[in-house]
Structure 1
Amino acid sequence: MRIPRCHEPQPMNPGDTLLLSDNNVQHLARTLRMRAGDQVMLFNGDGSECLATATEVDKRSLQVRIESQERPSRDSALQIHIGQTLSRGERMDYAVQKATELGMARMTPLFSERCEVKLKSERQDKRLRHWQQVAISACEQSLRCTVPQLDAPEPLEHWVSNVEADLKLVLHHHSACPLGDLPRPSSIALLIGPEGGLTEAEVQLAITAGFQPVALGPRVLRTETAPVVAQAILQSYWGDLSAG
């Protein structure tokens, strides 16, 4: 039987006895019906993961003992910071989920001229917590031991003017610049437009701020597909994805 893997946001070291968070009690004790003696893999986002054994289990609490701790090499050395223009509902969830699986280090949701999503402060906080949970679930599934940073949404013009990276890219289907001609970076800022695309003024603003326009092929990708394809290519060129 496959050992379940869960994010547990508290310090842990071999020999520690921990009471797990309510979310994990719900999943492990109530849904998976874990019993004393069963094992679970835990990670808290610091880059390590711990094998733990359940010692006491009931419907309201789950206590485990940390048996061992390792620091596996599953995080890409290529630091990718995505500026993802906001999209509606499941499209944004998909972008966060798949970008996390592909090794994204950080994402900043952006408001742009053609962005149709308007978030008031209370709803913005709720959506940010939701996206963070989407990223955590993607880490649990993909065996990542660190959780990417999800920033509060901000205007596109502010992000492009202030983000720092060795290489800054804006996806623009009119560009003919091939990625293979660019120097090898250790960090990348990647700007993704909304469903209606970036305006010419926004593309020029990004270029003025040091972004290089690049195209991924002859077809125009959806806003939630673009970060997936872009990261797969970038990780293949300069990161930890390969066909071999």
Structure 2
Amino acid sequence: MNARFFVDLPLGPAGQELDLPAGAARHVQVLRAQPGDVLTLFDGRADLAWQAEVLLMGRAQVRVRLLSFQAIERELPRPLHLALVMPANDRMDFLVEKATELGVTSIQPLMSERSVLRLSGERAEKKRAHWQGVAQAAAEQCGRVRVPSIAAVQALSAWLNSLGPAEGSLRRLLLSPQAQGLQAAEGAEGVLSLSGPEGGLSPAEEALAQAAGFAPIGLGPRILRADTAPLALLAWWGLR
């Protein structure tokens, strides 16, 4: 059995016995694993994948023993963080899934003047937790052992004001249909990318982003959807 599962518990050393969390246990039960079967587990805290033997299959309990680990390196050589105004409908689920497969480091969901999807309070936290689960499932599927973090939903202006000066190794980039080329991304050791919703950011918001150190870049002559543009940048970054 080659099934992979994220376990939100510290894993190690070899010989450790543990009960799988409810979500992972449920999936193992659906697969009808039996004692003696071997699973692959990772905890997102290190670039390690653990082989674990199933010891016990109960009605609500799956107990395993860690056997050995393998060092896995499947992250981008240089990090890319996506800050994006959330697209409408269920496109955010798709975006989180595909961004995880492409190696994104983290995702910051935002709301702007032209946002269709607006979230606050308990509803916003439920959505964030749901998207974190989408990222976890995508990491299990694509072979990553790090799960990108999904931050709490914020208003764009408040988030920009919280950033502080543009210092350090992260290059701040603003995806803009009016910009030409990717020259501002060349030579960066890491990227924090900002992109807008359907209809784009307003002129005032673009000005605010540029005042916060975001350099405009373009992705070609066609207008890309709000959920396509950040993925196109991520794919280009990962394949360079």
TM-score interval w.r.t. the shorter chain? over 0.9
Paired with 2:218 and 2:162, the residues of 1 have a C-alpha distance of 23
Residue 193 (structure 1) aligned to one of 191, 196, 212: 196
1:1-244 paired onto structure 2 within 5 Å: 2-13=1-12, 14-29=14-29, 31-47=30-46, 48-163=48-163, 166-176=170-180, 178-180=181-183, 182-237=185-240
Deviations along 1:113-172, whole A, 9 cap, x unmatched? 000122230111110110100110111011111111111111112323444553111111
Identity %: 34
Paired with 1:180 and 1:125, the residues of 2 have a C-alpha distance of 37
What residue identity is the alignment partner of 1:101? Answer: E
Is the Cα–Cα contact under 8 Å of residues 25 and 59 in structure 1 kept in the other structure? no
Please give the secondary structure, in 2, of the residue aligned with 1:92. helix
Paired with 1:90 and 1:127, the residues of 2 have a C-alpha distance of 11
Paired with 1:215 and 1:27, the residues of 2 have a C-alpha distance of 42
Is the Cα–Cα contact under 8 Å of residues 51 and 68 in structure 2 kept in the other structure? yes
Deviations along 1:90-122, whole A, 9 cap, x unmatched? 201111111111111111111100001222301
What residue identity is the alignment partner of 1:87? Answer: P
Paired with 1:181 and 1:236, the residues of 2 have a C-alpha distance of 17
Runs of 4+ in 1 over 6 A off after TM superposition: none
Is the Cα–Cα contact under 8 Å of residues 120 and 153 in structure 2 kept in the other structure? no
Deviation at 1:182, TM superposition (A): 4.3
Task: Compute the RMSD of aligned alpha carbons.
Answer: 1.5
Please give the secondary structure, in 2, of the residue aligned with 1:218. coil
Please give the secondary structure, in 1, of the residue aligned with 2:40. strand
What residue identity is the alignment partner of 1:168? Answer: R
Number of corresponding residues: 234
